[in-house]
């Protein structure tokens, strides 16, 4: 930080404060013995204990983990195959631009627009097959639709770093397509695939809008539970739950950064 302009340092400090001070305040309130108000009445972990005794929270946590694990597994497979198909197949420049735009669209589309489109799509599909009713299945499909794009972008960047020369050398040595995929392409892509899976898992854990629009009466997730609790007023248990979600998210993001750094280091 030495040599930085004071204005730049002030802007960095202001941005960091706006981002992290509210999160720090929630963490402090989660260990405050006072139930309401801003008065500090001593350190306690009873709100975390009561949180784990709350059946509604445990049910929401189970739904959240189930949704995140299943949707991430499906999106990782689809995103990896999509990235390989985009870069390894000789598409024409026009078709490649259209496919790139189709992959980028779910990333930049506002969640509320995407969620509304999913509601309309499921309403149409329910007329064809009742299994497309709102609930866990619809939530998994909804999460996969946007997670796949993120996984494809991460894996595609890894493919670009690797380049086509390794695959060409393997084919010159008479490697079959199956052998090339299993023993060369996938092992080289493993850091990118893992990073994409962690990113997809984190996005699923934190998603609210798409989950809210596609949830059924028995498929509440932790973000939906937090939103529902806000209408009854803030409670220390809600602070504890928010702190735990934040902690898990931070761990996943740090893991993603580590995987990304390892991926770039190996490719270079």
Fold of domain 45-267 = MetI-like fold (1.10.3720)
Please, are residues 29 and 42 in contact by the beta-carbon 8 Å criterion? Answer: no
pLDDT at position 1: 52
**SS3 label, residue 147:** helix
CA distance 43 to 14: 29
pLDDT at position 32: 87
pLDDT at position 3: 60
Regions of the chain with pLDDT less than 70: 1-4, 37, 256, 259-268
**SS3 label, residue 32:** strand
Closest to 222 (Cα-Cα) out of 66, 29, 76, 31: 66
First-residue to last-residue Cα distance in the chain: 28
CA distance 83 to 196: 11
CA distance 83 to 200: 15
Task: Give the DSSP H/E element, type plus range, for residue 176.
Answer: none
pLDDT at position 262: 57
User: Residues near 17 by Cβ (< 8 Å), separated by ≥ 6?
Assistant: none
pLDDT at position 92: 86
Could you tell me the pTM of the whole model?
0.81
Please, are residues 259 and 198 in contact by the beta-carbon 8 Å criterion? Answer: yes
Beta partners for residue 41, in sequence order: none
Question: Phi, psi at residue 51, to the nearest 5°?
Answer: -60, -45
Domain spans in the chain, listed from the N-terminal domain onward:
45-267
Greatest C-alpha distance within the chain: 73
pLDDT at position 174: 76
User: Residues near 44 by Cβ (< 8 Å), separated by ≥ 6?
Assistant: 31, 32, 33
Please, are residues 240 and 30 in contact by the beta-carbon 8 Å criterion? Answer: yes
- How many DSSP H helices and E strands does the chain contain? 12, 0
pLDDT at position 253: 76
pLDDT at position 37: 64
Kindly state the tokens that stand for 121: 């799509």
């Amino acid at each position: 930080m030495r040599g930085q302009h004071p204005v730049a340092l002030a802007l960095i400090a202001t941005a960091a404060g706006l981002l992290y001070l509210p999160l720090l305040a929630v963490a402090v309130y989660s260990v405050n013995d006072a139930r309401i108000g801003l008065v500090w009445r001593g350190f306690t972990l009873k709100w975390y204990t009561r949180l784990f005794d709350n059946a509604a929270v445990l049910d929401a946590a189970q739904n959240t983990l189930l949704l995140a694990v299943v949707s991430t597994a499906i999106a990782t497979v689809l995103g990896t195959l999509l990235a390989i198909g985009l870069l390894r197949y000789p598409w024409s420049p026009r078709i490649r631009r259209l496919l790139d735009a189709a992959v980028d669209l779910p990333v930049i589309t506002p969640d509320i627009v995407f969620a509304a489109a999913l509601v309309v799509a499921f309403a149409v599909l329910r007329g064809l097959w009742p299994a497309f009713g709102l609930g866990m299945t619809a939530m998994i499909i909804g999460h996969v639709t946007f997670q796949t794009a993120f996984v494809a972008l991460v894996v595609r960047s890894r493919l670009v770093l690797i380049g086509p020369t390794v695959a060409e050398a393997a084919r010159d040595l008479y490697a079959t397509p199956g052998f090339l995929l299993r023993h060369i392409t996938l092992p080289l892509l493993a850091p990118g695939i893992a990073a994409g899976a962690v990113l997809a898992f984190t996005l699923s854990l934190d998603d609210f809008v798409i989950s809210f629009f596609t949830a059924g009466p028995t498929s509440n997730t932790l973000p939906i539970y937090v939103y529902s609790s806000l209408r009854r007023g803030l409670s220390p248990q809600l602070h504890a739950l928010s702190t735990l979600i934040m902690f898990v998210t931070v761990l996943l993001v740090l893991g993603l950064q580590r995987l990304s750094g390892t991926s770039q280091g190996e490719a270079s």
